[in-house]
Each structure stands twice: as C-alpha cells, then as structure tokens.
Amino acid sequence: MFKHLVLKISTGVVIGAAALTVHAANITGAGASFPYPVYAKWADQYKQATGNQVNYQSIGSGGGQQQIIAKTVDFGASDDPMKGDALEKNGLFQFPAVIGGTVAVVNVDGIKAGQLKLSGAVLADIFLGKVTKWDDAAIKALNPGVALPGKAIIVVHRADGSGTTFGWTNYLSKVSPAWKSQVGEGKAVKWPTGQGGKGNEGVAAYVRQLKNSIGYVEYAYAKQNNLSWTQLENKDGKFVQPTQAAFAAAAANADWKSAPGMGVVLTDEPGAQSWPVTSATFILVHKVQDKPAAAKEVLAFFDWAFKNGGKSAAALDYVPLPEAVTSQITALWKTQIKGADGSAIWK
C-alpha cells in the first residue's frame, strides 16, 4: 500500500538561491504518508519546471526517522517532530514543510461527509472501545435528528509507526484523561480495540471497504477516497469542518522558535475556527553531509516548493508555510548544513 514518487536529477541546473552543477544522481527520501499527496503534486510540477526528479517512499514517519538516521536516504519525513536531544544525538537538522489536518472518517449508511458531529471525549471513548455502537446515547446526543444504526463500530487505526498516529493520540490525550492514562501518545501505541492499516492509504482503504467503520487519515486522503469525514468540537466548544481555513486558524499563533527543530505541535489549539487535529509535517537531513551534491538537490527541491508550491498545496487543502517562516528555514540551511569539509551546502 506504500506509494512512491520519483524525481530524476538532471545536469547543470540553476535553482533558487544556489547555482548547482549537478551530475546524474537519484535523490531518495522516505517517511510520512500524511504529506504524500502534496509531495507528489510538487514533484510533478518540479519535474515539469526543471527536469529534476527524486524518489520518495510513503512508509510512515517511524520508517522515515529510522532511514535518515541510518543514512539510507537523503532526507527523512516525519509528522512526529523529533525532540532536541534526538536531533542532537543523530546529527540531524529538522524543518517544517507544510501544514495539514487529520480527520475522523466513517463508513455509515446515510451519513454524508461533514454531517456527523463528534466531540473529543466521545471520539476517545470510541477508540478506547467504550462506545461500541453507532446509536450509543453519547453519539445521539451530539446528533439530534440524525438516523444512526444500532450497528457495532469497527475501529481502524494505523498499524505502522506513524506521525499521523502521534498527532491523533496527542490530541486524544489532551481531550480525554482516560485516554492519556490508559493509552497515551506516540507514533505507535497499544490500541485497546480495532484493526490496523499501513499508511494513510491503508486506513482509507479499510474504512472505504468496511461498513460501520471509523478511522483517521489526513484530509486529502478522505477527499481522494470519497470518505465521509466528521465535524469535530474544538477547544472553544465550536463544531468545525476540516478546511484549509480551519487548519490555518490552528496554526496562526504557532511559535516556530519555541521548540527545537521548529517541532511545534498544533493539536487542540484555541480559536473558534481552529481545527483540533492540525499538524505540521517535517523534513530531516543530516547536518554534516557525506554527499553534498545530493543534499543541495534536496534543499533545492524544498526551496522550489516554498516559492512555487503554495497554490497546489492549498488546492489539496494543506496550508503553505508563511514566507517569514520559509525565509527563516532557508537562512538556517546556510549555517546548519555543511559538507564533510565544513563548507556550506546552501549559499
């Protein structure tokens, strides 16, 4: 169920702030499935604009972190931001690439996209296995007038180490003391109930196939698979729909300098319009590069995406990073990412 995008490097290309003399090479990356739709779109547009290509595997955030640490890829991708001590230990530089939202998706006869309302507490109880039928009183109380079947709820979760799972369980831990004490947060947790799918792709496929199921996926996967997402009650007590504006509202007050590696967590943010399960997705590269030419191409791709990929990201309901943030990121590239001889990779 993994997806792949392929970008092929050509020769003698000048991109962004860096003049690059590039020899034929394959640039490899792996990790989060959360941003795969926008990375795929960027890759296609980047190839058309420059002729360059990179190979990215959607294997989950845990796999992305493992592969960049092992230096088997040129960049890793993770929705679960690495902590400062882990970045330091492994000699990694981390930066956000784009912002999106995770949604609950359901397959219940008669329930349309955006119709069903859920609170964080009820959602946690469903994933804890405490609320087991769709016509449970707790769900009915939030949805007066909605016909709900007396069918058992089938829970679908991620089977792999996943940054989407980190964001989801981080959110549930904030809104449910029972979830926090019994399960907690992480890229992988011991699920009280349900069955697992690999990647956002796998969860979307299971929910699409299984009647009376519920799962969680990045919003673009819900739209691509014609899944019925739910409204969620946010921290201000407002029921909101997942939209680019709602994701942007949650990220509006993000203090990117407050966490090592700009690893800001954006779940359960205040604001009447804020979507409760919003998150940034991150890129990981080594600070000291054994392959400086490949590192230049990785940075060139994301520099191009920052400058040219905003409209396509928005079309997929992601939120592009503000220019003030991307300028901060590219400035750090110049000082933080170096070749083995100590010379700057990005100039």
Q: Give the per-residue pLDDT at 133.
A: 98
Please give the backbone phi and psi of residue 86, each rounded to the nearest 5 degrees, phi first.
-70, -40
Residue 10 above 50 pLDDT?
A: no
Percent of the chain at pLDDT > 90 equals 84
Calculate the alpha carbon distances from 297 to 17, 77, 261, 329 in Å: 12, 16, 21, 16
pLDDT tier, 50 (very low <50, low <70, confident <90, very high otherwise): confident
Average pLDDT value over all residues in the chain: 91
What pLDDT does residue 44 have? 87
Q: Where are the domains of the chain?
A: 4-99+281-339, 102-262
| Topology annotation, domain 4-99+281-339 | D-Maltodextrin-Binding Protein; domain 2 (3.40.190)
Give the per-residue pLDDT at 48: 87
Q: Do domains 4-99+281-339 and 102-262 have the same CATH topology?
A: yes
pLDDT tens for 52-90 read: 887 889 999 999 999 999 999 999 999 999 999 999 999
Instruction: Give the model confidence (pLDDT) of 255-297 as tens digits.
Output: 999 999 999 999 999 999 999 999 999 999 999 999 999 999 9
Q: Output the CA–CA distances (angstroms, integers) from residue 103 to 68, 158, 241, 267, 279, in the order listed.
A: 28, 13, 9, 12, 11
Position 11 scores a pLDDT of 30
Kindly report the pTM of this predicted structure: 0.88
Instruction: Please write the tens of the pLDDT for every residue from 22-41.
Output: 443 478 899 999 999 899 89
Range 307-318 burial, b when 16+ CB lie within 10 A, else e: eebbebbeebbb
Structural domain 102-262, CATH architecture: 3-Layer(aba) Sandwich (3.40)
> What are the pLDDT digits (tens) for 157-196?
999 999 999 999 999 999 999 999 999 999 999 999 999 9
Q: What is the pLDDT of residue 26?
A: 74
Contacts of 199 (CB under 8 A, 6+ apart): 1, 2, 3, 33, 58, 59, 60, 158, 160, 162
pLDDT over 70 for what percent of the chain? 93
